[in-house]
């Protein structure tokens, strides 16, 4: 790993540029500062300055993260929630954003479409193995097991007809 040492002033300038290009979380910023050898009180002052100047905003980041991972990566709620908690966000912050975002999208239809597409790519004759593969695919994407099971049953039913 290439470690460059920066002064707090240099780091602040670089972080302002870094945060202005794309939504970043406090976790991302702290990781950058660790690479540059800035820790402790100096790091906290930089984070406070970035928050004060609106370069960092937790709620804005959460909404952006959910939107991006849902629309572009086709991740489910479980995987999105897990990744947000890894970045240090609290459950109540995540729940608020989830309620707001997922009330406006057809979540179950997206899961159904993804599982249907995966089903078409499978070349397995055994129905049991096909279901297992589809359910496993749904779990790796972060879809809830109950919803995945319902969608898989619907897909297998329509294939029989």
pLDDT tens, position by position, for the chain (161 residues)? 456 788 889 999 999 999 999 999 999 999 999 999 888 899 999 999 999 999 999 999 999 999 999 999 999 999 999 999 999 999 999 999 999 999 999 999 999 999 999 999 988 888 899 899 999 999 999 999 999 999 999 988 876 66
Residues 16 and 46 in one domain: yes
Whether residue 91 is contained in a domain is answered as: yes
Residues 123 and 143 in one domain: yes
pLDDT at position 127 is 86
Task: Find, among 151, 25, 1, the residue nearest to 85 by Cα.
Answer: 25
Whether residue 123 is contained in a domain is answered as: yes
Whether residue 3 is contained in a domain is answered as: no
- Total number of domains in the chain: 3
Whether residue 2 is contained in a domain is answered as: no
Question: CA of 116: how far to CAs of 109, 128, 136, in Å?
Answer: 10, 16, 14
pLDDT at position 157 is 81
Residues 118 and 97 in one domain: no
Residues 113 and 152 in one domain: yes
Residues 6+ away with beta carbon under 8 Å from 138: 76, 111, 114, 115, 145, 147, 148, 151, 152
Where does residue 9 rank: exposed (0-12), middle (13-18), buried (19+ CB within 10 A)?
Answer: exposed
Q: Are the C-beta atoms of residues 25 and 88 closer than 8 Å to each other?
A: yes
Give the CA angle between residues 89, 90, 93 to the nearest 5°.
Answer: 90
Half-sphere exposure in the Cβ direction for 3 (13 Å, CA): 8
Residues 70 and 97 in one domain: yes
Whether residue 145 is contained in a domain is answered as: yes
Give the domain extent around 62: 58-102
């Amino acid at each position: 790993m290439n470690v460059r040492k920066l002064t707090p002033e240099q780091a602040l300038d670089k972080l302002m540029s870094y945060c202005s290009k794309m939504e970043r979380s406090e976790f991302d910023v702290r990781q950058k500062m660790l690479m540059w050898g800035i820790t402790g009180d100096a790091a906290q002052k930089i984070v406070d300055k970035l928050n004060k100047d609106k370069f960092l905003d937790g709620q804005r980041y959460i909404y952006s993260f959910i939107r991006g991972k849902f629309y572009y990566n086709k991740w489910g709620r479980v995987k999105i929630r897990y990744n947000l908690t890894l970045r240090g966000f609290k459950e109540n912050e995540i729940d608020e954003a989830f309620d707001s975002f997922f009330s406006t999208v057809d979540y179950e239809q997206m899961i159904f479409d993804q599982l249907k597409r995966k089903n078409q790519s499978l070349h397995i004759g055994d129905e049991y193995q096909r279901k297992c593969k589809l359910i496993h695919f749904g779990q790796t994407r972060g879809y809830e097991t109950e919803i995945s099971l319902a969608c898989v049953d619907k897909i297998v039913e329509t294939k029989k007809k």
